[in-house]
Amino acid sequence: MSVGQQQESRTDAEFRAEVRGWLADNLVGDFAALRGLGGPGSEHVAFAERMEWDKHLSAAGWTCLGWPTEHGGRGATTSQQVIFHEEYARANAPHRANHMGEELLGPTLIAFGTSEQQDRFLPKIKTLDELWCQGYSEPGAGSDLAAVSTSAHLEDGQWHITGQKVWTSLAHLAQWCFVVARTEPGSKGHKGLSYLLVPMDQPRVEVRPIQQLTGTSEFNEVFFDDARTEASLVVGEVGDGWRIAMGTLGFERGVATLGQQVGFRRELDALVELAKRTGAASDPLVRDRLTRAYVNLEVIRAHVLRTLDSVTAGVPGTESSVAKLLWARWHRDLGELAMQIRGADGLVTDHDGLDEWQRLFLFTRADTIYGGSDEIQRNIIAERTLGLPREARP
Ligand SMILES: Cc1cc2nc3c(=O)[nH]c(=O)nc-3n(C[C@H](O)[C@H](O)[C@H](O)COP(=O)(O)OP(=O)(O)OC[C@H]3O[C@@H](n4cnc5c(N)ncnc54)[C@H](O)[C@@H]3O)c2cc1C
């Protein structure tokens, strides 16, 4: 049975009650103060405290839900994972600190890693003893990821890595980075790339924070100057890095996106309240935009639920491109609507800096860029689903 607003099976309903009960019992005391904290534009907020909360969740078995039990996960079904994310967002629990390890690298190692790599890294992802960052984008390789020029070669039993990554989220907090590097000299495009696991704590790795529109620094430039990692820390075959990198992207677009939409719903509800409080709700144009936002969010939810099974298969298909286009535009529009409702007040800050609406407005400018820009998603749909001629490539 599909999940969503249809009748839930008894086991799913019991699972929902268990999650809801656990969150109510545990999001108390010091943890209660963390409600709603963190997330894009606010990753720096209460990071250490949110790590403690994540560890608490982990100890109780509420992290790595979709991982198989033999790898330390909960072996939860897709519908249980959806339910967990929905309840988590509904409880306004803090934003998770370990997204990269738990949702991206963990599933990648389970699917493609050796048993030594799994034994070495999965337990520390689960306990949050090691945080990860994603070393894909470079100054000349963003949308065109296959243009990666960071290079790596084997010497004296180690990979030697040289090059620059950019926009590397949370690299300043991570102990490890999964890096796409060119390991066949002279190779071009998708060929000759490898997926390496590189420790960040070494003198040959330099992390330089980049300041965002929000004034905070959540992403970074990362420079590898003959940095080292062990020869065995390549995921998949040497030269097969493109396939592994695409596998990671497939996991990135999985179940967690539904929890994100419950968060969007909470933002919309709060904006409706703000419009009522400020009187903006009497403006027909504002009413129209709020109503449209409500309807479009229902459409996104229906699309994601309908296509979840193909997305969780681990290969990004055109369904996830449709979803990305819809939610990125929706969220960016919500930020703009928030500013319209705030009116002139929205243009000034007090000594505490940006408020939640200003931060939403500024950070959502990034939504149509990261995880594949709008233009790239449209290209994917045009070529793979509509069968339009491939765009000219150099
Ligand atoms: C908040 C945020 C967090 C990020 N975190 C990470 C991270 O942790 N790790 C990581 O590796 N990367 C990360 N990124 C990088 C992100 O993946 C890239 O920004 C994205 O892939 C776009 O690449 P680019 O910035 O180089 O832009 P470009 O690729 O240079 O694109 C510039 C513009 O040209 C358009 N364009 C490019 N090619 C085409 C084409 N063929 N057809 C039509 N239009 C085109 C794009 O749509 C865009 O509008 C992050 C980005 C952001 C904003």
Average pLDDT over residues 321-346: 94
How many Cβ atoms are within 10 Å of 239's Cβ, its own excluded?
16
Q: Which atom in ligand 1 lies closest to the alpha carbon of residue 379?
A: 42
Q: What is the DSSP string of 301-335?
A: HHHHHHHHHHHHTTS--HHHHHHHHHHHHHHHHHH
| Position 39 confidence tier, pLDDT thresholds 50, 70, 90 | confident
Nearest CA to ligand 1 atom 45: 375
Q: What is the pLDDT of residue 3?
A: 41
Instruction: Spell out a b/e string for 91-125, using b for 16 or more CB atoms within 10 Å of the CB, else e.
Output: bebbbbbbbbbbbbbbbbbbebbeeebbebbbeeb
Is residue 104 over pLDDT 90? yes
Round the CA-based radius of gyration of the chain to a whole number and report it.
Answer: 21
Q: What is the pLDDT of residue 2?
A: 40
Tell me how far the alpha carbon of residue 104 is from its chain's centroid.
Answer: 8
CB 49 within 8 A of CB 30: yes
Q: Which atom in ligand 1 lies closest to the alpha carbon of residue 169?
A: 8
Comparing CA positions, the residue from 305, 370, 287 lying closest to residue 331 is: 370
> What is the tens place of the pLDDT at every residue in 222-258?
999 999 999 999 999 999 999 999 999 888 777 767 7
CB 84 within 8 A of CB 76: yes
Taking CA atoms, 67 is separated from 101, 104, 379, in Å, by 12, 11, 32
> What is the tens place of the pLDDT at every residue in 155-209?
999 999 999 999 999 999 999 999 999 999 999 999 999 999 999 999 999 999 9
Query: Range with the lowest mean pLDDT among 32-41, 48-57, 122-131, 230-239?
Result: 32-41
Q: Ligand 1 pocket: which of 370, 379, 383, 391 to mutate (most atoms <8 Å of CB)? A: 370
Phi-psi category of 108—alpha, beta or left, where left has phi over 0 and alpha has psi -120 to 50?
A: alpha
> What is the tens place of the pLDDT at every residue in 280-329?
999 999 999 999 999 999 999 888 888 776 655 555 578 888 989 999 99
Alpha-carbon gap, residue 361 to 214, rounded angstroms: 9
Residues with catalytic function: 252
Q: What is the pLDDT of residue 7?
A: 64
Query: Which three-class secondary structure state does DSSP give residue 174?
Result: coil
